[in-house]
Structure 1
């Protein structure tokens, strides 16, 4: 119900007001009026991309938090978004690729490499794998990748115009072709993620008990890694780095469903879509003129939540 309301708000809200009755009429009519162009060519693709990106980020965050038992795990916090962004820049600068299907593979590769580095660094020492260590490692790797990305952009001015809009994290100018290209990746990542609910429930009881219950640890971790990389990679490739949705959505879902992963995962995906659409709608109206990017609004809400979670974990420890 909340997601449906957000979809309606997304179709209604913008610099050019369109009444609800007019939106409903043009949705189901072969019409090329101004209202139809606004709804079909601008707001509908934007809304669908927002839903896809939100579902992907919500699921990816829930998977990471569940597998690592780390309440601050998030594709952005652990450097996955920065790695995917760096991969996309390599595609743009090094190979002249400008389409989603072209650079999504580079996004996957960059996300894989950055995740590997974060876990190698964060898992060293006596306090290996601690949430704060992984967050610090992710912050360090993300900062290094951002610096390398900015240096490459300045060295190649031709790529700057295309890259500078994408890197902010935005869904304001999508096309239906991008929507069509997104759906297969989203379907694969979502199906794999939802199928892992029972295994993650078993692993949550402890590695040894999870093994006794038939949840293969290596296979489960591999499938979670594949799902997270597909979901976070497609979200970053389609909309740029949008942070903190993968952090907030699972916590909101957990407050509703409890720890059962069979319910938590789908709720996290839906709430991720709600957060992205709400941020997008607010971004259209919060400024007197122009729009505020989605990633800016999600960071405004997500950064205080991240600080709160870190401080709460420290107090519990």
Structure 2
């Protein structure tokens, strides 16, 4: 089983590197639409300096991965080096090995589909237990120095690449389309890594849990857990029903609670993933 998981991890790495490379060479680079991070720098460097995007990807990512060894650990470090090398090789070899089709000059569509492929690639890399390169390592180093969150730092770094594209391409539309590509990439990574948000977590804080529990179970077929709580305002004993439901069940549950316990309140959150056979019992 362990060997099978390792094999699947490296298959995800291979597919992820190929998807990221396809996104760059088929959609983004031909339309002069930048991505965020090293792929964006590769597209800009190829246009401004004539250096192949694969070489730029390797020159940007490899030193950052080496510099970030202490953050990564042995396993993630080795897999990240493999990702950096394969992505660079795929990016430069695909146009040579295959006659890539002309996909038209609609830059918005190229930004959308390029973002999807790049995001798919990065998501598969994350699924395999690897990183997508050294960009996040650089962001972590800068964040530690400047007292920023990692998310804020990544946002500013990607924004800088996008704004730089307006100067390099002499085209502000390129920067706007780059923003679209970065957004789509991020959403695609979230979808691959965390799944969809069709599952909801509902907390029902109520005084009449004994009345609500059988109604929800009988009418909705939903079970869950009960947590004892104390009201901060009155000090009285309350109960919190903890439920995991499909999003289509949210409105019926809300109506049941409003009808049978108007003083209760609901807190609804997205559950990106649910593991375990007992998650809904």
Structure 2 length-normalised TM: 0.28
- Pick the structure with greater CA Rg: 2
Highest RCO, 1 vs 2 (Cα 8 Å, sep ≥ 6): 1
**Structure in which a larger fraction of residues adopt helix:** 1
**Structure in which a larger fraction of residues adopt strand:** 2
Structure 1 length-normalised TM: 0.25
